[in-house]
Structure 1
Amino acid sequence: MRNYIKYMALSAVLLTACEAELDNPIEDGGVYTSGSADFSNFVSVGNSLTSGYADGALYLTGQQNSFPNILAGQFALAGGGEFKQPLVNDNLGGLLAGGNQITENRFVLSVGASGNPGPVRLSGSPTTDISNVLTGPFNNMGVPGAKSFHLVAPGYGNIAGVTAGASNPYFVRFASSANATIIADAAAQSPTFFSLWIGNNDILSYATSGGVGVDQKGNLDPSTYGANDITDPQVFASVYSQELNALTATATGGVVFNIPDVTSIPYFTTVPYNAIPLDAATAAGVNQAYAQYNGGMALYAAGGAITAAERDARTINFVEGQNAAVILDESLTNLPNPAAPGTFLPKLRQATPDDLFVLTASSILGTLANQNDPNSVIGVGAPVTDQYVLTPSEQALIFAAQASYNTTIAALAQANGLAFVDAKAILNQLATGGITFDGGSLTSTFATGGAFSLDGVHPTPRGYAYLANQAILAINATYGSTIPTVNVGDYNTISVSQSN
């Protein structure tokens, strides 16, 4: 069954990824102005999206195509200065700590034994060791994995805290001291212009874990948060304001980005809810296996323990053709298990179009939960567990926090006269028809759309180039500058070669 429920149809990927670069260069010889902005010392602050992270890792080519580096190249046409990045050593992407690998290598597209292309991790030993601390300062202060409050957290770059998860190995590489903060290291450079894109991970880690975390609304102490928790909106507003105050102290201006919808990135839109193909005989057999469970739901509804709507939602029914996967949904009512007093029935239901399966669900759908039980096919006889599905109730928590974060970002951008990039609108457009540029188009389709890398979350170089252009347009409109945009088609999409 697993061969029939792959999360992508990539028969044309190799051709798409290897397409010729488009030929539409920026005209040379133009005179470009900075307007009221001063680009001579541009400092960019943020998380993985700022660092150039892509394909599930931070690697050299990704950093060279980070959106801040693209911006800096254009700023150089109007007085911009040198832009230093804490570059890794290779294109494998993994990190070492004292010679031991602590993060995975990047994804590339590879054709498997069955002839189907798919993402695989590059093999090989990376050469970037976090114990080799770089000498800064660095203009690109993007730290993969950072949440909003991490930017102001002392010790976030202390190598002693990496093993316990108290610090960040990416920041360890270039922190000015073990007790430094990201925002202080950025502000210490006295930037004349800055970018700030932070807050994505404050909800994204909850989302990518399938909602295995806690909504910390009302908890104002981020030191008590778990890795996958949603940041309280008041905490976000407080630290975001601190960060802008630090950056605007010396800068003539800056550009900020808001937080996109999780529903607009392929990590949550690639695996369909109805990924289970069955023939008529198999469907009938599965329905027979669920007959007693369905009957129990009917009895509980008749007795008033659950509503008719919940009974219907929890009734399992398969048909010939494509079927919705069976999932666990912790928001359902606890119902006593008559066969085992003191326990509860599993909270089973079939998925609906409103459920979002994470990209990694593709690796478990159709496999056996118990290798000794042929009836334990995940999604059919065994449910898809919580970490692989974002249910509507979990999505509601994400959207509520995101809306609050974005209100804060927009208000502070306006109050400080900053350029503003509506990343939420851009990514929604990518997901609902795509975006055309001179000579091509970008969509959010996994692997073939051109905008997103093979991790399903971070852009390709081409996607980063498009975002850089949107930042340039916002900057020109805000500060009266005439910075030229780049040719998006000059930037690559996904990698299909396993050479590093």
Structure 2
Amino acid sequence: MIKNFKWLLLLSLSITACSSDDDNGEAPVVVTSGTADFSKYVALGDSFAAGYSDNALFKAGQENSYPNILSQQFALAGGGIFTSPLMADDLGGFSMGGMQIPQFPTRLYFNAATSTPMNVAGISATAIDAHVTGPINNLGVPGAKSFHLLASGYGQANPYFRRFASAADASVLGDAVAQSPTFFSLWIGGNDVLAYATSGGSGMNQTGNPNFATYGNSDITDPGVFAFAYNQILSALAVNGTKGVVANLPYINALPFFTTVPYNPVPLEANTAALLNGANGYGQYNAGIQFAKSQGLISQAEADRRTIAFHAGAGNAVVMNDSYLTNLSAFGIPSYRQATSDDFIVLPARAFIGTQVNGNPLQVNGVSVPLADNWVLSKEEVAEVKTATDAYNAIIEAAANEKGLALVDTKTILAQLANGGIVSDSFTLTSTYVTGGTFSLDGIHPSPRGYAFIANMFADAINAKYGSNLPGVNLGDYRILYPQAFQ
């Protein structure tokens, strides 16, 4: 099913229109496009452009995506029809043969009784092999990396694109260019580093490897590959002076997925702490660390970092595997240490830390059983993500300046959300999980109000660059979280 977004009172495709908000008796505000032309708008990007929220793509989320909201503001200044490849319902995910595909589950909702997110019940009516005819204006594709937008036949690898691709061998960029857009938005690059981060750094840092055909799904994209892809995309979109808006990338510590679970969430009784510190706990491991230090295999600083110690009461740090430590496996010594505030425990770990292995009370995940790599983004991995993000952002800014495009500084703005919040329309938005108003229950993608806030950021950047005066939407018109069921 496709929904067309169109300003119904628009009498022509002129570049000006009047705001209808004149209840106070004042003359209506004339909304203009400035030097931009919004008559044919296409949006390219990843899950953020698609309207992904609560760990799924579903109809209401797509309708509240920032490109859809922007298109409605563009309609006040000559914008035309904006078509999105809407899912069949508000359950989310894909089905096949009347069964929900586990890799594409239904969306999350907040269960107040348990104070936890849960998947909504039901089976999505969006079949994974269904196709939506175009042309499609919102070309946001969940899971897409920068170089994926150039790939012919990308739909064969990504069902979100396959369901609306113009042909089996189509590319996202090709389908965008074929529409001869007069204005575009591009927010891409998050997945080039985010997939590595959300997997706890279990992928590889491919910096220095230009052969993206060898990359895994959770790898960090080489900045050279990113630069090539990004500049190819903009060269095709910004042809003959076509105007548009691009956005840079936030640091991952602006996302509650990485900041909600503390590094030291473990409360212990005195007897349990003593048992963990004793010979039958980590005592033997600590002795091995001291042996390695005495033999000059590791420094005193590393020995201190690897020594594991618990105490009675709250605030005990989880134990983790860390592949960046000196490899002492030849001596039978594993690479364990306790987490610090420099490490990020990923959001799904909150339901895993403290659970027993096979019902054994002596084997507790994160305590007596160290967390595997996928549960923690270590200090060194955090640094790798930051380095790649900085490189991508430099490329984005340089390309925007070269092409004369509007640039949304999401890196700075989302950092403000994580450091005190931002007041907008009398609402204070923060990055706090569940209650902050900005992010959905997956801890990465925005809530409805978060997407409205992002749309306003884009409108502000467009106004500043092209002299338009697009109004922002009222954040109070957008809910903080989606309900369990829509009325």
Q: TM-score, normalised by structure 2?
A: 0.92
Contact 2:49–2:66 (Cα < 8 Å) also in 1: yes
For 2:241 and 2:136, the matched residues in 1 are separated by 16
**What SS does the corresponding residue of 1:194 show, helix, strand or coil?**
strand
Work out the CA distance in 2 between the residues paired with 1:498 and 1:375.
41
- Equivalent residue of 1:135, what SS? coil
Name 2:318's counterpart in structure 1.
Answer: 325
Q: Which runs of 5+ in 2 are unaligned?
A: 1-18, 23-27
Q: Is the CA contact 1:36–1:252 (under 8 Å) kept in the aligned structure 2?
A: no
Residue 240 of structure 1 aligns with which residue? 230
Q: Distance in 1 between matches of 2:178 and 2:209?
A: 31
For the residues of structure 2 that align with 1:333 and 1:26, how far apart are their CA atoms?
66
Q: Deviations over 1:57-79 (max 9, x none)?
A: 00111000000011010011110
Q: Give SS of 2:407's match.
A: strand
Q: Could you tell me which of 303, 326, 331 is aligned with 2:295? A: 303
Matched, 1:363 2:362: no
How far 1:440 sits from its partner (Å)?
1.1
Mapped partners of 2:114, 2:352: distance in 1: 17
* Structure 1 partner of 2:57: 58
- The offset of 1:99, in angstroms, is 4.5
* 2:186 match: 196
1:49 and 1:144 in contact (8 A); partners too: yes
Count of matched residue positions in the alignment of Structure 1 and Structure 2: 459
The farther-off stretch of 389-398 and 203-212 is 389-398
- Please tell me whether the aligned partners of residues 196 and 255 of structure 1 are also in contact (alpha carbons under 8 angstroms): yes
Aligned to 1:262: 252
C-alpha displacement at 1:293, in angstroms?
A: 1.4
Deviations 1:104-162 (A, max 9, x none): 10000013xxx43110011101001132211101110000000000000011113xxxx
Which residue number corresponds to residue 139 of structure 2? 141
Q: Distance in 2 between matches of 1:368 and 1:429?
A: 38
Are residue 423 (structure 1) and residue 410 (structure 2) matched? yes
Residue 450 of structure 1 aligns with an amino acid whose one-letter code is: G
Residue 309 of structure 2 aligns with an amino acid whose one-letter code is N
CA distance in 1, matches of 2:243, 2:454: 18
**1:478 alignment partner, SS class:** helix
For 1:221, the aligned partner's letter is N
| CA separation of 1:208 and 1:465: change in aligned 2, threshold 3 A | same
Q: What letter matches 2:443 in structure 1?
A: G
- Secondary structure, aligned partner of 1:375: strand
TM-superposed CA distance for 1:185, in Å, is 0.1
Structure-2 residue corresponding to 1:83: 82
Higher relative contact order (CA 8 A, sep 6+): 1
1:382 aligns with 2:369: yes
- Match status 1:272 vs 2:269: no
* C-alpha contact 1:336 1:345 (8 A) present in aligned 2: yes
Secondary structure (helix, strand or coil) at the match of 1:128 reads coil
Give the equivalent residue in structure 2 for 1:152.
150
Provide the C-alpha distance between the structure 1 equivalents of 2:369 and 2:349, rounded to a whole number of angstroms.
14
Moved more, 286-295 or 452-461: 286-295
For 2:160 and 2:97, the matched residues in 1 are separated by 14
Q: Determine helix, strand or coil for the equivalent of 1:298.
A: helix
- For 2:383, which of 383, 393, 396 is the aligned residue? 396
Q: CA offsets, 1:371-409, max 9 Å, x none?
A: 2x3211111110011000000111111111111110000
Contact 1:192 1:250 in 2 (8 A): no
Q: Distance in 2 between matches of 1:336 and 1:462?
A: 50
Aligned residue in 2 for 1:120: 118
Deviation at 1:438, TM superposition (A): 1.9
Amino acid at match of 2:196: Y
Following superposition of structure 1 onto structure 2, how do residues 163-182 of structure 1 map, counting pairs within 5 Å? Answer: 167-182=157-172
Aligned AA (2:61): G
> How far apart are 1:417 and its partner, in Å?
0.7
Q: Which runs of 5+ in 1 are unaligned?
A: 1-24, 159-166, 339-343
Cα distance between partner residues in 1 of 2:364 and 2:330: 23
The answer to whether the 8 A contact 1:210-1:387 is kept is yes
CA contact 1:191–1:250 (8 Å) conserved in 2: no
Q: Which amino acid aligns with 1:367?
A: T
CA distance in structure 1 between the aligned counterparts of 2:75 and 2:29, rounded to whole angstroms:
13
Q: Which residue matches 1:164?
A: none
**Contact 1:108-1:497 within 8 A present in 2 as well:** yes
Q: Contact between 1:47 and 1:147, CA under 8 Å: does it hold in 2?
A: yes
Return the alpha-carbon distance in structure 2 between the equivalents of residues 448 and 208 of structure 1: 21
Quick one: structure 1 residues 336 and 234, their matched pair in 2 at CA, closer, same or farther if it must change by over 3 Å?
Answer: closer
1:450 lines up with 2:448 in the alignment: no
Q: CA deviation at 1:463?
A: 0.6
Which of 430, 438, 446 matches 1:459? 446
CA RMSD of aligned residues (A): 1.5
The whole-number CA distance in structure 2 between the counterparts of 1:499 and 1:141 is 26
- Cα distance in 2 between the residues matched to 1:214 and 1:116: 37
Q: Residue type of the partner of 1:274?
A: N
Measure, in 1, the Cα distance between the counterparts of 2:409 and 2:433.
22
Residue 299 of structure 1 deviates from its aligned partner by 1.5
Q: What is the identity, as a one-letter code, of the residue corresponding to 1:331?
A: Y
- Amino acid corresponding to residue 299 of structure 2 in structure 1: T
2:10 is aligned to none
Percent identity between the aligned chains? 53
* Partner Cα distance (2:42, 2:470) in 1: 17
Q: Deviations over 1:353-372 (max 9, x none)?
A: 0010000111110001342x
Distance in 2, matches of 1:181 and 1:99, equals 29
Contact 2:288 2:333 in 1 (8 A): no
| Deviation for aligned residue 1:290 | 1.5
Deviation at 1:210, TM superposition (A): 0.2
Q: Are 1:185 and 2:175 matched, yes or no?
A: yes
Aligned twin of 1:249: 239
Residue 433 of structure 1 deviates from its aligned partner by: 0.6
